[in-house]
Structure formats: structure tokens, C-alpha cells
């Protein structure tokens, strides 16, 4: 797994895509924080909320090449015939993308430290929201990598992932919009937003932690099955 992990990290550091996405997110979060701070709001809650929306858009472009690029360049055959287990390949790619995003999200600590130097900040809510954001990112990355394993086109992988993320973003509101209000409680149970919003209140609900971890485990397992099927094919 570590060999694949290091290889993926190296790819992010030696290609423009990683720097472009990191730069966009850094600038985006900086502008939001500046506006938030300029408005006299001693909290980064708004920054967290808008950051989650940005990640729904950017993560598909970070995961699109995970397996699609390997298939297009035919380098997937080298991976499949290597001594690394398929689970190790999938987890190596998964943790590499997570590492890049998590490093970028460390920017939130800088924001909160700046806020704390000018007034009192609620660190409990900050850490609750931050943990929720990390779990949300992990779930989204696992989904993106799974979709990337289904096609050799990076653009198709990115668009399909983006489409699914848009559905997830508005999932809780869909029953009401479609006239099936009685399904709202089920949508709230499955949807990502309602569970993430619990963290933004500083509430660490273990059921929500288990939910996001389960989503990661499920989609990483599905990715392993897709790649395993290709190996035997």
C-alpha cells in the first residue's frame, strides 16, 4: 500500500492538477475568511459551510484520474500484476487523495488562531465541525475513486461523480420537492448534509461517525471488487 501511496503523492506533487486545485481552494477559503473577518464575525462556521460546497465540486477532479488514467495509459496492468494486493492499491490511492485534501484543510487552524487573537472562539464547535468535515471528505473521496474505477475517461469519471455529489447535496430536500414528504425521514437518515450539520453544532454523534466510516468502507470495498473483476477478466 505504501508504494502506491507514495506514487500517488508524487503524482500530485509533479503534475499541475494538484497545485491548481490546492491553489483554488486556498484562495477560495482565504477570500471567504477575509469577508467573514471583515464583517466582524468571530467564527469560521460560514467558512466551513462554504468549504463543504467547494469540496463537493473539487473532489471529483481530484479523484477522476485515480483509476481512469491508469486504464487509459494501460498502466493498470502493471498494478494488477504487481505484488501489491488490490486492497492495498485502492487504499493507497484513497489515503493519498485524503492526505492532499487534509493538508489543505489545515488552513482552518490558521483562521481560528487569527480569530482567537482578537476575541473568544468556541474551540468545541470548531473541532466538532472540523472532524465532521474530515469524515465528509473521506466519504466523498471513496465515492469518487469508485466511480473512477468504472471508466477509463477522466472527464466522464469527473462528471458522473459531480452529478452524484449534486444529488447528495440536495438529497434531503428531494422528497419534499417531488411531493413525497413522507420519505423525508429516510432521506435525512441517508443524506450527508443532515449528518454533517450535527458536527457543526459541536456534537460528536458516534452514529454519524459510524455512518461516514461505513460509507468509506462500502465504496472502497466496491472499488476492490471492480478491480478484482478486471484482474480475473
Neighbours of 38 (CB within 10 A): 8
Average pLDDT over residues 214-227: 93
pLDDT at 37 over 70: no
- Distance of alpha carbon 186 from alpha carbon 69, whole angstroms: 37
The pLDDT value recorded for residue 39 is 60
CA distance 23 to 149: 26
Domain residues for 220?
Answer: 2-232
Give the total number of structural domains in the chain: 1
- Looking at residue 14, its pLDDT comes to 83
Q: What is the reported pTM?
A: 0.88
* Res. 72: pLDDT tops 90: no
Q: Are 166 and 56 in contact (CB under 8 A)?
A: yes
141: which residues sit within 8 A by CB, 6+ positions away? 59, 62, 63, 94, 97, 98, 101
Query: Higher confidence at residue 231 or residue 133?
Result: 133
Mean pLDDT, residues 144-158 taken together: 90
Nearest Cα neighbor of 217 from 125, 133, 141 is 141
Identify the CA nearest to 172 among candidates 207, 152, 206, 197: 197
Amino acid at each position: 500500500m505504501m508504494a502506491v501511496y507514495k506514487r500517488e503523492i508524487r503524482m500530485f506533487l509533479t503534475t499541475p492538477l494538484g497545485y491548481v486545485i490546492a491553489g483554488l481552494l486556498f484562495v477560495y477559503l482565504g477570500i471567504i475568511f477575509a469577508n467573514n473577518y471583515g464583517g466582524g464575525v468571530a467564527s469560521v462556521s460560514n467558512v466551513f459551510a462554504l468549504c463543504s460546497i467547494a469540496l463537493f465540486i473539487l473532489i471529483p477532479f481530484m479523484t477522476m484520474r485515480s483509476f481512469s488514467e491508469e486504464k487509459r495509459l494501460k498502466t493498470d496492468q502493471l498494478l494488477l500484476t504487481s505484488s501489491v494486493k488490490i486492497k492495498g492499491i485502492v487504499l493507497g490511492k484513497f489515503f493519498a487523495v485524503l492526505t492532499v485534501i487534509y493538508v489543505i484543510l489545515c488552513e482552518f487552524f490558521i483562521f481560528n488562531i487569527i480569530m482567537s487573537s482578537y476575541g473568544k472562539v468556541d474551540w468545541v464547535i470548531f473541532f466538532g465541525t472540523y472532524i465532521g468535515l474530515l469524515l465528509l471528505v473521506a466519504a466523498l473521496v471513496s465515492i469518487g475513486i469508485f466511480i473512477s474505477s468504472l471508466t477509463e475517461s477522466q472527464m466522464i469519471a469527473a462528471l458522473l461523480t459531480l452529478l452524484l455529489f449534486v444529488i447528495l447535496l440536495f438529497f434531503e430536500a428531494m422528497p419534499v420537492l417531488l411531493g413525497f414528504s413522507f420519505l423525508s425521514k429516510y432521506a435525512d437518515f441517508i443524506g450527508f448534509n443532515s449528518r454533517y450539520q450535527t458536527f457543526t453544532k459541536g456534537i460528536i454523534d458516534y452514529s454519524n461517525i459510524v455512518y461516514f466510516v461505513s460509507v468509506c468502507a462500502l465504496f472502497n470495498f466496491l472499488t476492490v471488487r471492480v478491480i478484482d473483476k478486471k484482474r480475473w477478466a
